[in-house]
Structure 1
Amino acid sequence: MSQSDAILDRLMALHPKVIDLSLDRMHRILAALDHPERRLPPVIHIAGTNGKGSTQAMIRAGLEAGGHRVHAYTSPHLARFHERIRLAGALIDEPALAAALAECEAANAGRPITFFEITTAAALLCFSRVAADFTLLEVGLGGRLDATNVIDTPALTVITPVSIDHTQYLGETLALIAGEKAGIIKPRVPCIVGPQQDEALRVIEARASGLTAPLFVHGQHWMGAPDRDGMIYQDDHGLWDLPLPNLPGPHQIQNAGTALAALRHLGAGDAMARAAVTRAEWPARMQRLSRGPLVEAAGGQAELWLDGGHNPAGGAAVAATLAAMPPRPTHLVCGMLNTKDVAGYLAALAPQVASLTAIDIPGEPNTLPAAATAAAAASVGMPATTAADAADAIRAIVAAEPRARILIAGSLYLAGRVLRENA
């Protein structure tokens, strides 16, 4: 076990008995650390339900192509915690991470604090000490009371599509959830707004109006759309004619448009725009696996894909991606958390999938039992069975269908486990 892993284990034990979304603990620990959040390079703060990570990855690719040094913070990680913190373009190394976590642990002095809060404080501490041109902060949950929402005056805020998720914390309706996401909007700070349902957009517009924050809204001030074999982005400054994003799926054109709108606001030119869509990398978002034990289990003729989407909008995005791919029998290997709308996630996928094999998420206490996932699949008309793990599921699928397209999906926690096991 690394030094950082040992500290992270101790920090988990500080978690409050009841999660109350609040910024009080963040303000306390940041004050004890002498307010690193006030010494960051210009911040681009990103909230939304789906597409935050992909949009951040594209903004970062564009900025770095322009010669900028960029900090980036994202969550959750897939294989290693270090993935959450990128310092001036490089993943944080073990000595720097361990030192920052230890400093935050000492500053907190054993008081209750959530794991996300104290690790966010560690990220902000690191960002404040390494020179860079921009800081990209991805919200963890919601926005208004998220631990990242401690920046008084970011350079720019971004809201990707809002949909129903985390209802136990953010509210049962789209309007309530949008209100939480819109909590990152700050007085007079420009906000890029990705494609939204009308109900969510009304809430975002009302919040921005009350703070005199300029909005740049998809469909009103900018647009991104497929065009022939590529995509176009257009706003009042002109048009970019670009290749398709290298992140697969029609939904990535929307994410690319949001990223390009942000980059345009930051002064990007043609080369930065092209890099944003062609150089961005984001694991477990319709990622084709090309090597490793699970690929070997699939045999030489099958395709193996991985995706971490886990809500109904994510299921619809994956379904649209599958529909646009060359025809091939597609079989789903699925594991989900017990807090998710499983039937809602699977409903959109049912027309694109020949079968589902349900598995538990290994090592995850909140996994939905495989039998329950299979029952949810059957309820939306998807033939379903269960398997002990992903490898067993893959072997059973290829035994019946050697040329199958196999998609492992349903949870970022499952995706992380797959990436670790398949390394």
Structure 2
Amino acid sequence: MQHIYGCLARVRTRLFSTSLPRSCLDSSDKPTVLDRRRSTIPPQARIRYIAEMLDLPESYIASKTVFKRPLVVKKIRYLLSIGCSQQQLRSGRFTYLKFSTERIKELTKPTADSDGKPNFENILGDNFETCLNRGKNDMREDVARLLNVQESDLTSVHFKSIKAKTLLPKIKLLLSHGIEASEIFKAPYVLRHSNKNLLKACETLKKQGVEKLKISEISMEIQKKPESLPEITSKLSALLGISTKKLEPFVSNIICSPKAMVPKVEYLIKEGFDCYDITEHMARLSMIQLPSIAEAVSSLQSIKGKDLYIHDVIHYASSNLKGRLNLHEYDLTAKKLAKMLNIPSDKLKMKFFPRRIHQTTLELRDKMELLEKSGFTIDAMRKCPLVLLHDSHILEKYLEELPSVPELQPYEKWMKDQGKLIHALEYIIEKDL
């Protein structure tokens, strides 16, 4: 019996994953897997099904973002089921898919003018834009009254990207928190934020002791994305199998976004890297984006195999983000550069890649040659390696101006001491930037 039920289930799945005849497209059909949200539908099956329903090439369906919207299949099936032809559905730019299913049902209800037949003109004809903005146009009078302006003063900016049903509640919310109507009228962009975010921002600012709220402060508060370090530490702790107490010092040293470390750690663990090795290099890993890490791991595995360490990945990614150097070229250049600076090659990265991880060793060598031509020795560069983090065109500009910099005129002896002069160069560049 179970075998029979299994066969029937497979037949049913196969039936609804291919083209259906018009007689099967009844609005009372039970929802199938193709009626669910796109996240649960195989992309290729979805594209094929929509293409068959609209009688269009699969390549065309795949190229249009409008067909990636959720519940598109359900909307098209409904329109076909009430008598809308494939030609009618293809006649527009598929903008009717912007409506919700309930809205489509409401707009296509039979009217006296349509002789009891579904009215497709509202979603497929010239009335589309009118219907799309009908909700906002109906409440222009209420919006004008709340903002204490004339209806003619309102422009499309006050309604752009805002759902009609949420517009009035947002205005009332801001007015209830002491925001002046004139301020809302002058800065309608604030109404594009959700009601929930507006309320949360107002409450947060009130708790911080702000007596008179301003639109600019509310917008800045909403745009803030505070990252909860304890929460991120807990996630990393679960992934690495290390207690949060031991992990906290490493997480606090993360230079870039701590939140972005979670997917990086997940990827590295999946690739078989040691958890303690990942933890020790967490600060430097945070400065490299995940695609660059993945590219480095893939390239190194093809050269060295699976026996890799995190510092190999960091060295390769930091010197090869643009894919211009392979591993052997990187090693050769690093050794040359270390020899030029007279420092161990394994300390090269710690000195010269603290901020600009995407700087390659070739770029660094070119800048050293530029400084040498300007009279600076290798010993001077070792004293101030940060100057090598600036782009070549910036160095060229300031090297030309350096002799005539007003700040250096009282200190003639600085012009003779290269160690002090290169520090002065770094100071002037940083101050201007």
Shorter-chain TM-score: which interval? under 0.3
Question: Normalising to structure 1: TM-score of the pair?
Answer: 0.24
Larger strand fraction of residues: 1
Question: Normalising to structure 2: TM-score of the pair?
Answer: 0.23
* Higher relative contact order (Cα pairs below 8 Å, separated by 6+ residues): 1
Q: Which has the larger radius of gyration?
A: 2
Larger helix fraction of residues: 2
